[in-house]
């Protein structure tokens, strides 16, 4: 694969074997600053295992995983291993792994819309609240690399959009690279720079547009595959002329076909994404 000196993390032909079984094998992957790389694939296809190799939590049995020296990493794991019988406030949870001041805790929670939860008990949080707190912990130290393993699980629809927007904002504000795992194909196809589709190995990869046309991707995701990218592509096969007529790509003009061109909203891309996303659910 093409290697860049600026890669935050890079896996080369990386794989993990347990006993005689390969959990995942032959993964090439790199994340550059400011880039969103998304892993997709069915349950058990090796997404979390790949993320853990990138993080250094699991050491590849073959191939390599290299992180930039001094890289700060924020991680939202798919599952938390916490002893829920012990009392633990959100504030203390944020400080378990980071020496954060009160102001830093507040600021991180504010960004994820969870400031009011600062003194709440971790074990009493709802699923969506927990995800917001986890994201706050991951971004609190302004990481160079953010690894998000299904960051919107348990989050309601409005919250989900808000969290994906927030992830984009964080990328812009911090310039960090993001390695994300998501089952939400619509968001993946809208937000990722690179998509890697896993099924025990890399089944296909590329830009959302490349991947959406790949037969392996289509075979894995079936009917969902076809619509995921389509709703985000703004097919400008026509222009609206000042006199209200519509001119098509082939030069033909019409004055009464306006309605046919407006399944989509000509507002901001974000608005369109949200609208279509909602429709697709
Ligand atoms: N520590 C482990 N020991 C043995 N097998 C493991 C271990 N961790 C994961 N596996 C197995 O490896 C495979 C890949 O697991 P992984 O958690 O990476 O899948 P995933 O793509 O993240 O799935 P999901 O969408 O369900 O989260 C699964 O079959 C899982 O049972
Ligand atoms: Mg997983």
SS3 labels along the chain: CCCCCCCCEEEEEEEEEECCEEEEEEEEEEECCCCEEEEECCCCCCHHHHHHHHHCCCCCCEEEEEECCCCCEEEECCCCCCCCCCCCEHHHHHHHHCCCCHHHHHHHHHHCCCHHHCCCEHHHCCHHHHHHHHHHHHHCCCCCEEEEECCCCCCCHHHHHHHHHHHHHHHHHHCCEEEEECCCHHHHHHHCCEEEEECCCEEEEECHHHHHCCHHHHHHHHHHHHHHHHCCCCCCCEEECCCCCEEECCCCEECCCHHHHCCCCCCCHHHHHHHHHHHHC
What is the Å distance from ligand 2's center to 268 Cα? 33
Do the beta carbons of residue 228 and residue 187 sit within 8 Å?
Answer: no
pLDDT at residue number 254: 67
Average pLDDT over all residues of the chain: 82
pLDDT at residue number 243: 62
For the CA of 200, the nearest atom of ligand 1: 14
Residue of the nearest CA to atom 24 in ligand 1? 43
Q: Write down how long the chain is.
A: 281
What is the Å distance from ligand 2's center to 163 Cα? 19
Residue of the nearest CA to atom 8 in ligand 1? 49
Do the beta carbons of residue 202 and residue 214 sit within 8 Å?
Answer: no
pLDDT at residue number 63: 98
pLDDT at residue number 166: 84
Question: pLDDT digits over 1-38, tens only?
Answer: 544 668 999 999 999 999 999 999 999 999 999 999 99
pLDDT at residue number 36: 95
What is the Å distance from ligand 2's center to 47 Cα? 5
Q: Ligand 1 pocket: which residues have CB below 6 Å?
A: 18, 23, 41, 43-49, 78
Intervals of the chain under pLDDT 70: 1-5, 228-250, 254-281
Phi first, then psi, for residue 195 (nearest 5°) are: -120, 135
Residue of the nearest CA to atom 25 in ligand 1? 43
Fold (topology level) of 1-72+142-211: Rossmann fold (3.40.50)
For the CA of 16, the nearest atom of ligand 1: 12
pLDDT at residue number 179: 97
User: Quick check: pTM over 0.85?
Assistant: no
Residues with CB under 5 A from ligand 2 (ion): 47-48, 78
């Amino acid at each position: 694969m093409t290697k860049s000196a600026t890669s935050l993390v890079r896996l080369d032909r990386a794989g993990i074997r347990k006993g005689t079984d390969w959990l995942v094998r032959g993964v090439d992957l790199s994340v550059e600053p400011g880039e969103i790389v998304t892993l997709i694939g069915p349950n058990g296809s090796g997404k979390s295992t790949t993320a853990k190799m990138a993080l250094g939590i699991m050491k590849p049995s073959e191939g390599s995983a290299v992180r930039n020296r001094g890289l700060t990493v924020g991680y939202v794991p798919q599952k938390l291993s916490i002893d829920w019988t012990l009392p633990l406030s959100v504030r203390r949870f944020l400080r378990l792994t980071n020496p954060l001041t009160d102001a830093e805790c507040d600021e991180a929670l504010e960004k994820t819309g969870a400031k009011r939860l600062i003194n709440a008990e971790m074990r009493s949080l709802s699923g969506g609240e927990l995800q917001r707190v986890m994201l706050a912990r991951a971004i609190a130290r302004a990481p160079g690399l953010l690894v998000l393993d299904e960051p919107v699980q348990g989050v309601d629809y409005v919250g989900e959009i808000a969290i994906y927007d927030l992830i984009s904002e964080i990328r812009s504000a911090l310039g960090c690279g993001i390695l994300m795992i998501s089952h939400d194909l619509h968001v993946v196809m809208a937000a990722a720079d690179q998509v890697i589709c896993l099924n025990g190995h890399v089944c296909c990869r590329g830009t959302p547009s490349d991947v959406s046309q790949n037969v392996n991707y289509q075979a894995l995701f079936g009917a969902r595959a076809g619509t995921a990218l389509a709703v985000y592509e703004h097919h400008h096969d026509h222009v609206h002329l000042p006199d209200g007529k519509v001119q098509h790509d082939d030069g033909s003009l019409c004055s009464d076909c306006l309605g046919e061109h407006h399944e989509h909203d000509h507002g901001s891309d974000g608005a369109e994404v949200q609208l279509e996303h909602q429709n697709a659910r």
